[in-house]
A and B are shown apart, each in its own frame.
Chain A
Amino acid sequence: MKKILIVDDEPNIIMALEYTFKKNNYEVFIARDGQEALDILQNETPDAIILDIMMPNVDGYATIAEIKLNEKLNHCKILFLSAKNKEEHIEKGMSLGANAYMTKPFSTKKLVEKIEELITT
């Protein structure tokens, strides 16, 4: 079973994401900010991570920088999912080593497709 980690601070968005990926047969882990995500990643190695940028405590940028330091997570695909849709934000996210960037609001179908695509390549 494929594993996915969802990192976001909006409860209602989390709920939608959790439902969508469980429905598509993923084991879903949930973190409400960067710190929680990093804590989970100490024990788990998911296939993909969906990462918000604007979060309290440790934001998305800082989180991906930490993840990239961990060799165990090299294979793990990372997708930024953020309301920040400016060119500079996307560029920054990609340059930090993300595999994809998707802006909010998003289509759940397209998000699942994108994650599938990332995991299989």
Chain B
Amino acid sequence: MNSFLLIIILLIYVGFLFFIAHWAEKKANHKWSNNPYIYSLSLAVYCTAWTYYGSIGMAANSGLNYLPIYLGPIIAIPAWIIVLRKVIKISKLNNVSSLADFISLRHGNSRFLGAIVTVVCLIGVIPYISLQLKAISETFHIVSQTETNDNVFQDSTTYVAFALAIFASYYGSRYVDASQKRRGVITAVAIESILKLVFFIFIGVYVTFFVFDGFDDIYLQASKLPYFEERNTLGGLTQGMNWYFLIVLSLFAIFLLPRQFQVSVVENNREHHLKTAIWVFPLYLLLFNFFVYPIAWGGNVLFKGQEVNADMYSIIIPQFFNNQFLAVIVFLGGFSAAISMIVVSSIALSTMLSNNILIPYTYLGKLKIQNQVDNNKRIINIRKVSIFILIITAYFIYRYFVLDYSLVSIGLISFVVIAQLAPAFFGSLFWRRGSLKGAVAGILVGLFFCFYTLLFPYALGISSSSNTFITEGLWGLELLKPFQLFGLDYLQPVPHAFFWSLLFNTLIYFAVSVSFKGNYRERNYAEMFIDIDKYSTNHENAFVWRGTAYISDIEKVLIKFLGEERTRRALSIFNLKYNINQTSDMADARLIKFAENLLTGHIGTASAKILISSVVKEEKISLTEVLQILEESNENILINKKLTETSNELKKITEKLQEANDTLVVKDKQKDEFLDTVTHELRTPITAIRAASEILYDDEDIPNELRKQFLQNIISESDRLNRLIDKILDLEKFETGKQKLYFVKNDIIATIYQTIEPLQQLIKNKNITVFLENSKSVYACYDEDRIIQVITNLLSNAIKFCPEKEGLITIKVKDKEDYILVSVEDNGKGINKNENEAIFDKFYQSFNQNIKKPVGSGLGLAICRQIIEHHGGKIWVENIENSGACFYFTLPKNKQINAI
């Protein structure tokens, strides 16, 4: 394919990524850019061009050896989540923006340690970036079928590298505060992760099912190759040791690679996103490795006996079958893998370079005197230029040094270098006594062994192959042979270097830390790091500091970096958080820590401390004092916790009291209303009696007929009055719990018959048919007199509401498992739906009935409800379509309820 056309395709592709990044940046809180899947996929920046091409090469040349690099992270995931949660918490609370910051902060904001960590990362990662550029460049030449041009400036891949450098420096350094989230870049990286996986699966499916006839076919043909047996055997204990160290190595890499720290810690904006990552990320790695083997051995079969770079099988195979489209797709996938690694790594490295070397060692003086706008501009420019220079440097390293090495070997060297940070890093999290001196000494010694056993021999291999250093050892000493140091001869170079360097690194770290105590600041941070959960709220309290400092001085420093408005806002948040009145002009330890945190994102933890120290006067505190103060603050935290608990309890009690009071108020109101209604209801018959009596008394010549009628009225109203009083007393007994119920096993059918009997006359008078569906006995436990009262009430209501002609009342009993259900249905006009509940209220009928003045007290249903509920049953009413109302009640069968 024409290289010009390929560049156009690349430009369109990069343009697409630009668009994604730009969109996500604008909608930083959109659910598509801020979700656990984007986070999990961005972790897949772990799979670089090395994975994409290199593991195929490795699988083709040495069988299963590519696997440990992916098994490590998959095995480590459960532990990884636990450790990472801690790292994320610490980093968020302290505004940590890089691995160097993290380790340097723990060791007392050490500028020197920060710089060393940065250097280690640079040594480890720049060649790694070279590796990506190498992959891009080589695949570019293969796809465009051009040769690498010896003149750098006529080689089109040079311009690809330049374009990349510009893209990365533009997008990577938009924020002055390096601990800010870069949603744009991360979303683009996540999209690239999807694309590279999908494209890789494309080529895998193509090779397995289109070039060959499935997995079996590849295996059958590959097993006929002469070296198949040899390359696919796990070589006993020796091989096992190699595997073991490679797995541990990759396990460290997942924590310590600057790009992994960047995506997993700095760019994490919700802790719970980890819950998704715990399964998405291992699944991603498994999927990615699924087709590695078929492609590698398919390639071995296809190009048997030819000189073909196995790293490039995934492009060469489609090209071999003249499938240009697939070749370009694979190339874009590899390009995605490379570009995300380059961008994220260079962002991480440039942050470290600027915040841990350039600013603390050179620019800090200038930043101190400039204003905020210039400062921000300068910090951003430092980072921009760093990113650009890093990528260009990596490109030239690739051009002039690493042309000849396979992708995997450079990647693994990177891992070994980075792994030197492991003791200090894990020590920071779990060991209180780890000290600055120990960390520095350990890393330097480890680095020395890396150089001796890995970097020098490789570098010498490039320049002079006749050097005897590798074959005979330094000064001809057998024991000092770089690949078989101290006679250890069964490990491959990478696990070998890893073993020795890390062994000495760890030993020195422990030995020095134990022998020389760290200063109080280190110990202070050790406590904060290790017990981060204890300090996660108001962590500024855990910072021990004594001396004199003026708030105004600190404010001035902050303004230089944050600007007036943000400083003011930050300080007012601080005052709010700690309930501080702005009367004092002296700053305390909490403000010092708060100010350092604010600056850390901009200029790194070491510079932040230096800047703040320059405006305050600190008194030295002894180690024991620090421990004592921390102890006290711990106690304070405990006391605070107890206080909060007590006040919470009080709050709960108050709430309960309030509730009780509310119900009392409601009850009181109900009682008032009840009294109101009762007096009204009592007065009504008295009024009638009073009026009739007065007439009879005054009027002597009242006709006999009328006189009798008035006397009759007096009698019936007196009865009414009496009934009313009985019912009120009844209800009162139930409501106050004085009513006694006598539960006996009874036949409800018999009870119903007994109830109907005295009503017969009334029923006959109104020409109503009463129909009882059941005839067999149904037993339940109840107080018969009371249930008769209920049924009488329901029947009287039904009789009252039945139409003048053809009145029908149907009674049904249903025998359920542990209760019986009785229903009384009439064919009257029914009840308004919204009254279904209310009719059971006291005196409800007196105001709302639609018929002419009823006979009854308005207390009947209220009493029924009391009786049934005291039996442990329920009573309710339903409307039957087109015909009347149906009252239901239930009675438990066996439940012996003691008299209530």
Give chain A's interface residues, CB within 8 Å of chain B: 9-13, 15-17, 19-20, 23, 32, 54, 56-57, 83-84, 86, 104-109
Write out the residue numbers on chain A whose beta carbons fall within 8 Å of the beta carbon of B698. 108-109
Q: Is the CB of A17 within 8 A of B680?
A: no
**Cα–Cα distance between A104 and B685 once the two chains are bound (Å):** 10
Q: Could you say which of A10, A11, A16, A57 contacts B710, with CB atoms under 8 Å apart?
A: A16
Q: How many A-B residue pairs have CB under 8 A?
A: 72
Tell me how far the C-beta of B212 lies from the nearest C-beta in chain A, rounded to whole angstroms. 91
User: Can you spell out 14 A-B residue pairs with CB atoms less than 8 angstroms apart?
Assistant: A16-B688, A16-B695, A16-B713, A17-B691, A54-B846, A56-B847, A56-B849, A57-B850, A83-B680, A83-B687, A105-B683, A105-B686, A106-B687, A107-B694
Write out the residue numbers on chain B whose beta carbons fall within 8 Å of the beta carbon of A84. 680
Query: Is B679 part of the contact surface with A, judged by Cβ < 8 Å?
Result: yes
Q: Is the CB of A10 within 8 A of B690?
A: no
**Cα–Cα distance between A54 and B849 once the two chains are bound (Å):** 12
Query: Is B837 part of the contact surface with A, judged by Cβ < 8 Å?
Result: no
Tell me how far the C-beta of B536 lies from the nearest C-beta in chain A, rounded to whole angstroms. 60
Decide: A83 near B683, CB < 8 A? Known: A11-B853, A23-B699, A56-B850. Answer: yes
Q: Is the CB of B691 within 8 A of A16?
A: yes
Write out the residue numbers on chain A whose beta carbons fall within 8 Å of the beta carbon of B846. 54
**Cα–Cα distance between A61 and B330 once the two chains are bound (Å):** 88
B720 and chain A: residue at smallest CB distance: A12
Tell me how far the C-beta of B684 lies from the nearest C-beta in chain A, rounded to whole angstroms. 6
Q: Is the CB of A19 within 8 A of B852?
A: no
Q: Could you say which of B683, B717, B848 contacts A104, with CB atoms under 8 Å apart?
A: B683
Q: Is the CB of A104 within 8 A of B684?
A: yes
Query: Is B692 part of the contact surface with A, judged by Cβ < 8 Å?
Result: yes
**Cα–Cα distance between A106 and B692 once the two chains are bound (Å):** 11
Q: Could you say which of A12, A19, A57, A107 contacts B717, with CB atoms under 8 Å apart?
A: A12
Write out the residue numbers on chain A whose beta carbons fall within 8 Å of the beta carbon of B145. none
Decide: A10 near B687, CB < 8 A? Known: A23-B699, A54-B847, A108-B694. Answer: yes
Query: Is B79 part of the contact surface with A, judged by Cβ < 8 Å?
Result: no
**Cα–Cα distance between A10 and B713 once the two chains are bound (Å):** 11
Tell me how far the C-beta of A57 lies from the nearest C-beta in chain B, rounded to whole angstroms. 7
Q: Is the CB of A83 within 8 A of B679?
A: yes
Write out the residue numbers on chain A whose beta carbons fall within 8 Å of the beta carbon of B853. 9-11, 32
Q: Is the CB of A19 within 8 A of B687?
A: no
Query: Is B709 part of the contact surface with A, judged by Cβ < 8 Å?
Result: yes
**Cα–Cα distance between A86 and B850 once the two chains are bound (Å):** 27
**Cα–Cα distance between A64 and B695 once the two chains are bound (Å):** 28
B694 and chain A: residue at smallest CB distance: A108
Query: Is B706 part of the contact surface with A, judged by Cβ < 8 Å?
Result: yes
Decide: A10 near B688, CB < 8 A? Known: A15-B713, A19-B695. Answer: yes
B854 and chain A: residue at smallest CB distance: A56
Q: Is the CB of B699 within 8 A of A105?
A: no
Tell me how far the C-beta of A109 lies from the nearest C-beta in chain B, rounded to whole angstroms. 7
0/1 interface trace, chain B 846-880, chain A, CB 8 Å (1 if under): 11111011000000000000000000000000000
Tell me how far the C-beta of B706 lies from the nearest C-beta in chain A, rounded to whole angstroms. 7
Q: Is the CB of B847 within 8 A of A106?
A: no
**Cα–Cα distance between A86 and B675 once the two chains are bound (Å):** 12
Write out the residue numbers on chain B whose beta carbons fall within 8 Å of the beta carbon of A13. 684, 687-688, 691
Q: Is the CB of B690 within 8 A of A105?
A: yes
Tell me how far the C-beta of A88 lies from the nearest C-beta in chain B, rounded to whole angstroms. 11
**Cα–Cα distance between A17 and B695 once the two chains are bound (Å):** 10
A57 and chain B: residue at smallest CB distance: B850
Q: Is the CB of B695 within 8 A of A20?
A: yes
Q: Given A15-B710, A56-B849, A106-B687, 6 more contacts at CB 8 Å?
A: A13-B691, A16-B688, A16-B710, A19-B695, A20-B695, A104-B683
**Cα–Cα distance between A84 and B713 once the two chains are bound (Å):** 22
Write out the residue numbers on chain B whose beta carbons fall within 8 Å of the beta carbon of A20. 691, 695
Write out the residue numbers on chain B whose beta carbons fall within 8 Å of the beta carbon of A109. 694, 698
Write out the residue numbers on chain A whose beta carbons fall within 8 Å of the beta carbon of B680. 54, 83-84
Tell me how far the C-beta of A115 lies from the nearest C-beta in chain B, rounded to whole angstroms. 14
Write out the residue numbers on chain B whose beta carbons fall within 8 Å of the beta carbon of A17. 691
Tell me how far the C-beta of B693 lies from the nearest C-beta in chain A, rounded to whole angstroms. 9
Write out the residue numbers on chain A whose beta carbons fall within 8 Å of the beta carbon of B717. 12
Q: Is the CB of A106 within 8 A of B691?
A: yes
**Cα–Cα distance between A31 and B846 once the two chains are bound (Å):** 17
Q: Is the CB of A56 within 8 A of B848?
A: yes
**Cα–Cα distance between A113 and B289 once the two chains are bound (Å):** 109
* Residue of B683, B717, B850, B853 most packed against chain A (CB within 10 A): B853
